[in-house]
Amino acid sequence: MKKGLVRLCSSHLLKQSKLFSTNNRLAFRFCSGKQEKHEFKAETKKLLDIVAKSIYTDKDVFLRELLSNASDALEKQRFLATQKGEQVPSDLEIKIELDEQKRTITIEDSGIGMTKQEMIDNLGTIARSGSKQFLEQVGTQMNDKIIGQFGVGFYSSFIVGDTVEVVSKSERSDKTYLWVSDGTGTFQISEAKDFFQGRGTKITIHLKPDQANFCKKTEVLKTIQRYSNFINYPIIVNGERQNIVSAIWVRNKNEITPEDYNKFYEYISNSKLAYKYKLHYSTDAPLSIKALLYIPQTHMEKYGMQMEDFDISLYCKKILIKKNCRELLPHFLRFVKGVVDCEDLPLNISREGYQDSALIAKLKSVVAKRVIKEIESEANRDPANYLSWYHDFQNFIKEGVAMDDEHRNQMTKLLRFQTNKSEDFISLDDYISKLPQGINNIYYYLAPTRQQALTSPYMEPFANSEIPVILTMNHMDEVVFKQINEYSSKKFVNIESDQAEVDKVAQKSSEEKDKNEEINVETNIPNDEITPFCLWLKNELNPIISQVQVSKRLKTSPAIIVSAISSGMRQVMHAMGQSTDDLKNLTLEINVHNPIIINLNKVRKSNRVIASLASKQILDGCLLASGLLRDPKEVVERQHKILNVLLTSEINTPIVEEVGAYREEAVKQKDSNTQKEDLETEIIIDSDGNPQVVKKNKK
């Protein structure tokens, strides 16, 4: 038996490690003495130990590496037969035999095999890739078929084995050879007999005692399914084929049936539920990509149980590089399932990661844009079908709009909203098409329900207007609209907080109304009383209200709260744990044509107690309408005081005719023939602060 040393292909290894390149060489331009040239040296045993035990993260990758090598050997044999014009051999397959008693695992292929010299060169030289040399000989036509490139994968067998035996027979030689090594830096090679009738390679690993689980079928099947399930050739374990699911993403989509797509989705999703949409595409520019991606019908996040985990896998030439690959898609597309196969990946030497982060970012961008484009195409093709999906997935879409600058414009096209004009969900493009000429804003309003939105005081300027208003019930939409800011040169305007823009709409509406209606001066607060009344209100409602002004927008409601921060944004800030000083320095707009406001101005002159209670009750209603009323206790107490006044008053006592509006009117006098009592009533505040009605003799 011939004994040899495991050699180091230093230039190749250093090149792959990017430690020795033209750009990294030192230029000794300032050396005047004679230069001496030396080669790097390495302690072979130590290097072999590093390659075998330190490069790979998981021990089970040895099987992935050996199966990839076997697949390459089969591909080479298939290619050579085709080149010779021969029929492709029918016996191209990989066999795995497990022996728990002997504690061995054997991987055998019927591929191209190796001659004695090739075994010495390929197995005896670290970082010398036989597959790479084969590609250099045949050209680029096999680039997408051959997996190996570094020449170190074989040595991963020493992660789990204390001795490795390789038997190989090439059609170019009439002899079979046996290669044996214990991974300590030397190997032995000798002629072998009675191993092969034809050609191929058989690798037997004598497992270490603590790695005996790798001769168990369950462990081997799990590893095959994880890494190598989509190898082109049959993988037979103890006589039973395992890789029955084919890598349909590399096939022409015209060759694939709907049943094939369904079965593959069931396989990758572990679900019997049908998918909603699929995207099967391949491209060579700007990267070589083959992808099959599925968009599901439903997701788990809507139940509030868990966040969707990335269920998309990254492959390189049908070999798994990373499962649940978060780097392949932006976070808001985490519901997408499937595989992406990229031949251009600059893999690290363990093939468990990649070296070029810029290229991975490019891959992520390309795949994401293609997914979004596919969803948009489906939305345009069948709007009703898309809408049924959108209701479940709209939070993902809105997350993308709010959080992702790169894809915001694309994602915005996928948004759908109702308006005050219709309950139909429409896109922003559809909304813009319905705007009257000359309108440069997109108006929206947030409310708990559609009915509350339609009856809100904030909607009054748009009640008889042709301008549609987007109605939303999700407070996160406030963030979405703020992030978009403008769409098709139209600015987003919240009708609750953007006073100046809404006043323009109200002004135009008032001008049109004035043409058709004659204003009754008796339905207004006198002009000379408006300023004193506003100052009185401000003092009564301080510190919540810092400014009181006459509203241009209100038509029927008595008053509204106006703030630079909308209720939707406040909800977002509260959810994030941020303080907003809700009940401080707000602006109160009053409708001087409203009977409640008119009568409040009158009552403040004659009964300040009732006027004060009424003003605070009006404020409560405004706070409630704007979503700012968070503690109802004080409101309820105030209502009880007002009810106490009403319920304890008598027929001939002036009462509040409309409790909800606080409009004070004189009660009709009793029949003129009835003798009036010589008493009068007065409202006082008792020691507990409650208003009481008392009677006393007329003076």
- The pLDDT tens digits for 296-332 are 999 988 877 778 889 999 998 888 888 999 999 999 9
Q: What is the pLDDT of residue 418?
A: 97
Task: Give the span between the Cα atoms of 181 and 186, in whole angstroms.
Answer: 6
Read off the amino acid at residue 655.
I
Query: Taking the alpha carbons of 102, 105, 111, 114 in that order, is the dihedral positive or negative?
Result: negative
Those residues whose C-beta lies under 8 Å from the C-beta of residue 531, and which sit 6 or more positions away, are none
pLDDT tens-digit readout, 639-653: 888 788 777 764 344
Q: What is the pLDDT of residue 407?
A: 96
Beta-carbon neighbour count of residue 192 at 10 Å?
17
Q: What is the pLDDT of residue 127?
A: 63
Pairing of strands 275-283, 200-207: unpaired
Judged by DSSP in three states, 577 sits in coil
- Compute the residue count for the chain: 699
278-287, 469-478, 520-529: least confident range: 520-529
Average pLDDT, the chain: 82
327-336, 349-358, 377-386: least confident range: 349-358
In angstroms, what CA-CA distances link 202 with 16, 25, 123, 217, 691?
28, 42, 13, 18, 100
pLDDT tens-digit readout, 407-464: 999 999 999 999 999 999 999 999 999 999 989 999 999 998 999 999 999 999 998 8
Q: What is the pLDDT of residue 662?
A: 37
In angstroms, how far is the first alpha carbon of the chain from the final one?
A: 135
pLDDT tens-digit readout, 87-138: 888 889 999 999 999 999 999 999 999 999 999 888 887 766 555 555 555 5
Q: What is the pLDDT of residue 678?
A: 55
Q: What is the H or E stretch that residue 258 is in?
A: helix 258-269
Q: What is the pLDDT of residue 580?
A: 59
pLDDT higher than threshold 80 for residue 6: no
pLDDT higher than threshold 60 for residue 368: yes
pLDDT tens-digit readout, 599-642: 999 999 988 888 998 999 999 989 888 877 767 888 888 888 87
pLDDT higher than threshold 80 for residue 241: yes
Q: Which residues face 98 on adjacent strands?
A: 105
Q: Which percentage of the chain shows pLDDT scores above 70?
A: 77
Those residues whose C-beta lies under 8 Å from the C-beta of residue 479, and which sit 6 or more positions away, are 402, 569, 572
pLDDT higher than threshold 50 for residue 547: yes
Q: Which residue has the higher pLDDT, 269 or 131?
A: 269
pLDDT tens-digit readout, 646-677: 777 643 444 444 433 333 333 344 344 344 44
Beta-carbon neighbour count of residue 577 at 10 Å?
6
The two three-digit tokens of residue 76, written as one number: 């080479």
Mean pLDDT for 9-35 is 49
Mean pLDDT for 561-585 is 75
Judged by DSSP in three states, 194 sits in coil
Q: What is the pLDDT of residue 521?
A: 46
Q: What is the pLDDT of residue 572?
A: 76
Q: Which residue has the higher pLDDT, 137 or 16?
A: 137
Task: Give the span between the Cα atoms of 691 and 648, in whole angstroms.
Answer: 10
Residue 349's pLDDT band (boundaries 50, 70, 90)? low
pLDDT higher than threshold 50 for residue 56: yes
- Share in percent of the chain as helix, strand, coil (round to 5): 40, 20, 40
Q: In degrees rounded to 5, what are phi and psi of residue 189?
A: -135, 140
pLDDT higher than threshold 90 for residue 185: no
Task: Give the span between the Cα atoms of 344 and 290, in whole angstroms.
Answer: 11
Q: What is the pLDDT of residue 659?
A: 39
Q: What is the pLDDT of residue 302?
A: 84
User: Are 679 and 695 in contact, with CB atoms under 8 Å apart?
Assistant: yes
Q: What is the pLDDT of residue 655?
A: 44
Q: In degrees rounded to 5, what are phi and psi of residue 431?
A: -60, -45
Mean pLDDT for 545-552 is 92
User: Are 563 and 581 in contact, with CB atoms under 8 Å apart?
Assistant: no
Most confident residue range from 151-155, 521-525, 539-543: 539-543
Q: What is the pLDDT of residue 464?
A: 84
Q: What is the pLDDT of residue 84?
A: 85
Read off the amino acid at residue 258.
P
pLDDT higher than threshold 50 for residue 19: no
Q: Please, what's the largest Cα pairwise distance for the chain?
A: 139
